[in-house]
Amino acid sequence: MSCVTHIAPADEKNEIIGSLVVAPGVIRYALEELGLCVGISGAHYTTTTEVYPDSPSASSA
């Protein structure tokens, strides 16, 4: 992702939206508990992304 948009930096507590950063731009989030769509499958490993095309750091690459 970093070749087309910036990766959100962690805050002073090494968190993004209140969740611990485990790799650059990566957090573990309570997907099922919050009823988010990526948690519906019940799969052991799931992922989702948030991309902001209006970011000043985004490119058309």
**Cα 6 to Cα 44: distance, rounded to the nearest angstrom:** 28
Question: What pLDDT digit, counting tens, does each position of 11-58 carry?
Answer: 999 998 888 999 988 888 887 788 877 778 888 887 777 766 666 766
pLDDT at 21: 93
Instruction: Please give the angle made by the CA atoms of 42, 9 and 27, to the nearest 5 degrees.
Output: 15
pLDDT at 52: 66
Q: Is the pTM of this model over 0.85?
A: no
